[in-house]
Structure 1
Amino acid sequence: MTFGQQMLFFFSAVGAFNGLLLGVYLLFVKKLKYIPDFFLGLILLTLSIRVGISVCIYFYPDLPRIIPHLGLAALFFTGPALYYYIRSSFLQEHFILKNCRRSFGILTLILGAVGLLYLFFPVTWDTYYGTFIYTVWTIFVFWSVYEYYTLSKKYAEKPNKFILPVLISNTIIFLAYQLIATGWVQIYCAGGSLVFSFVLYANFLILFNKKYRLSETKELNRYSNKKISDERADGFVSKLERLMNSEELYKNPNLKLNDLATRMNISSHQLSQLLNDNLEKSFSTYINEYRINEACEIIENGSYLKIEEIGYEVGFNSKSTFFSTFKKIKNTTPLLYRQSQMPSERELQSSNL
């Protein structure tokens, strides 16, 4: 290879390699606490596979024919991943992952069925397979742009600042590959790989620049005093109550605001704002009310546990904290509350009669 070809190969391959590493990290290494990260990882993984194979085919054209088709197969899922990245970023806790799994299952079956056609119509399949892949990609890119437009109008405040850069980046890569595939732009196939590398590193500079982080912090502080809308607050409260009632998170004595916010897929700031502004309670008061109500139920059911054991059972890590919190919320002590639940002598005599 000439020096120019070596440089072309280097920049294309490095972009594909870094995109592949980041995609694998988001998909398999990073814990799945934020659903959009999964789809972003899938976008990077599929594009990196396609880019890497394009580079290999350009510099090593004698590779088996199946290799470029594998790259196209990976590209088949890029459009759906972009669409669901946008939806999950906006909808967050309202996003239904089950429906997404069903859609990807159907898409996989479609791709498998199209792949099997090669056994019966190899010449036709070679001619139209790429057209089929790029058509699906085109449909989902336009659908993603439309989805972003409709959801951004519905949600005035965007959940994160990455949605638009990711959408624009994918659109640029899509246009580059479409122009090359249709022959409207007469450049080598590796041109798409260079575009991917350029867009990838441009996003690193934009998204992780210190000035960007500072401006995002200022934006957050500007709206920190604004109350969460009633519609969103109702959704958050319902999810919070489900976590409390079904999973009994309040029984964890080491439960922190950050832990609960992570389970709800919202920021600690949003959870704190929800509790203070919409429920008019602090985090500790909200959790302790669940604990005390649970303690009262245990006492009312006639448990033979000691008072301090009941405190530990419902999530308190010390006897004194349990007693003082019980007194504050119920205006009595746990012992007096237990005695008030015991039947009086007159009631016992009446029951014996």
Structure 2
Amino acid sequence: MNQGQQIIFFFSALGVFNGLIISIYLLFFKKSKSAASYFLGLLILAIATRITKAIFSYFYPELPRIYLQLGLSACFLIGPSLYYFTKAALNQNHTTPVNWKRTYWFWIVIIGLIGFVFPYKTNPNAWNNYIVHIIYTQWAAYVFLSGWLLRAILIKFFQPAEKLSSNEKSILSIFIGNLIIFIAYLVVFFGFLRGFYIGGALFFTLILYLNIPLFMNRRKEITIFSDNVDLTRYANKKINTEQALILTDKLQKIISTQELYKNPDLKLNDLAKKINISGHQLSQLLNDNLNKSFAMYINEYRINEACNMIANDNALKLEAIGYEVGFNSKSTFYTAFRKLKNTTPTLYKESVSLNL
């Protein structure tokens, strides 16, 4: 290798080495693992494996061809890793849903079977002319799906009046970095700029170093990689706007998807455990940031659900609806309804009937 090639090799290999270190940390040594950090580790590992294949192919083409099969197989996991990382980061998943694991293992089994039945060593034409097309098509599909998940953030990014949160910046930065790497390899795949083959490796190194601060938990912030967030040290401080938005979003999703408001015995501490904060911190979030008491916050969900039931099922008695949505007595249901809707359930039902 000449001096220029040595420099390119050094920076490419440096990115791979650091990528492997970061992926191992995220997958095995990170104390607080969330679904986002788990899939980010898999994503970096898959890209690092693909980059290793590019380096060997570019600088050491005489080496055994098994590394080509491994590198191309890793491409089959980049798309799913990016998609599930994006989804987990946006949804703030603590654990990985079973269907995500099944889908991920499905792709591993598929590419494993293809490699076993058609090894690259004896079937280079099949890999270069057919299998690689399947791999890049699947990769492109997942990049598109990831971008679709981020459409609201992307729209927000291009609006000067809107400001992205640090978590949104993190997710968007990782997506754009992967998009650049994908485009770099896609350009070469379609026969353009063949001399630019090693460009994906160099982009990976650059993007990796730009994003390293995002891969680690920042102590004073709730990040997309956090799992069990300890906010007790903020007990005497008002939760800042960004943290409040993250916690409020998690709270809304948990309450809505699990219909926790229908439990008449729901306690503040029980709800706080669902989002991994203390009861004091949840009370602080509701009172200081949302200007609501715990009872008012839960009753809003109950009354909104009651209104939907009144509008859609006239056969049910009002008292039964009150119990169904979580109130433990008729009087508390009527009192809460009047307070939030400025009318009684009976009058509301009559107004709905008149509008039908």
Scaled to the shorter chain, the TM-score interval is 0.5 to 0.7
Per the alignment, do residues 172 and 278 of structure 1 end up closer, same or farther by CA in structure 2, a change over 3 Å counting? farther
The superposition leaves residues 67-113 of structure 1 with CA deviations (integer Å, 9 ceiling, x where unpaired) of: 11101111210100111111111222487610101101221222123
- Structure 2 residue 245 is the aligned partner of structure 1 residue 234: no
Counterpart of 1:136 in structure 2: which amino acid?
A: Q
Shift of 1:47: 0.5
2-structure distance, mates of 1:7, 1:274: 52
Q: Which residue of structure 2 aligns with residue 73 of structure 1? A: 73
- Structure 2 residue 240 is the aligned partner of structure 1 residue 221: yes
Aligned pairs for 1:201-350 (under 5 A) are 201-204=209-212, 221-222=240-241, 228=248, 231-232=252-253, 234-235=255-256, 264=275, 271=282, 273-274=284-285, 276=287, 277-279=292-294
SS across alignment from 1:171? helix
**Percent of aligned pairs with the same amino acid:** 36
Q: TM-score under structure 2 normalisation? A: 0.60
SS across alignment from 2:150? helix
Contact 1:240 1:264 in 2 (8 A): no
Shift of 1:180: 1.6
Q: Which residue of structure 1 aligns with residue 109 of structure 2? A: 109
Per the alignment, do residues 126 and 232 of structure 1 end up closer, same or farther by CA in structure 2, a change over 3 Å counting? closer
Counterpart of 2:192 in structure 1: which amino acid?
A: W
The superposition leaves residues 210-231 of structure 1 with CA deviations (integer Å, 9 ceiling, x where unpaired) of: 9xx8xxxxxx724677894784
Unaligned 5+ residue runs, structure 2?
157-161, 222-238, 297-356
Unaligned 5+ residue runs, structure 1?
214-219, 251-256, 282-353
The superposition leaves residues 215-269 of structure 1 with CA deviations (integer Å, 9 ceiling, x where unpaired) of: xxxxx72467789478447259977999x99xxx99xxxxxx9xx76x7367999
- Structure 2 residue 180 is the aligned partner of structure 1 residue 180: no
Aligned pairs for 1:120-159 (under 5 A) are 122=123, 123-149=125-151
Contact 2:34 2:95 in 1 (8 A): no
1-structure distance, mates of 2:294, 2:206: 47
Q: Which residue of structure 1 aligns with residue 40 of structure 2? A: 40
Counterpart of 1:183 in structure 2: which amino acid?
A: G
Contact 1:83 1:141 in 2 (8 A): yes
Q: Which residue of structure 2 aligns with residue 197 of structure 1? A: 205
Shift of 1:203: 2.1
Contact 1:93 1:264 in 2 (8 A): no
> RMSD value over aligned CA atoms?
4.3
Contact 2:22 2:41 in 1 (8 A): yes
Q: How many residues align?
A: 260
Counterpart of 1:160 in structure 2: which amino acid?
A: N
SS across alignment from 1:184? coil
Contact 1:50 1:75 in 2 (8 A): yes
Q: Which residue of structure 2 aligns with residue 18 of structure 1? A: 18
Q: Which residue of structure 2 aligns with residue 330 of structure 1? A: none
2-structure distance, mates of 1:95, 1:4: 46
Contact 2:283 2:293 in 1 (8 A): no
Counterpart of 2:126 in structure 1: which amino acid?
A: T
Q: Which residue of structure 1 aligns with residue 320 of structure 2? A: none
Per the alignment, do residues 268 and 17 of structure 1 end up closer, same or farther by CA in structure 2, a change over 3 Å counting? farther
Shift of 1:114: 2.2
Q: Which residue of structure 1 aligns with residue 167 of structure 2? A: 160
Contact 1:87 1:95 in 2 (8 A): no
SS across alignment from 1:63? coil
Contact 1:53 1:71 in 2 (8 A): yes
Per the alignment, do residues 224 and 144 of structure 1 end up closer, same or farther by CA in structure 2, a change over 3 Å counting? closer
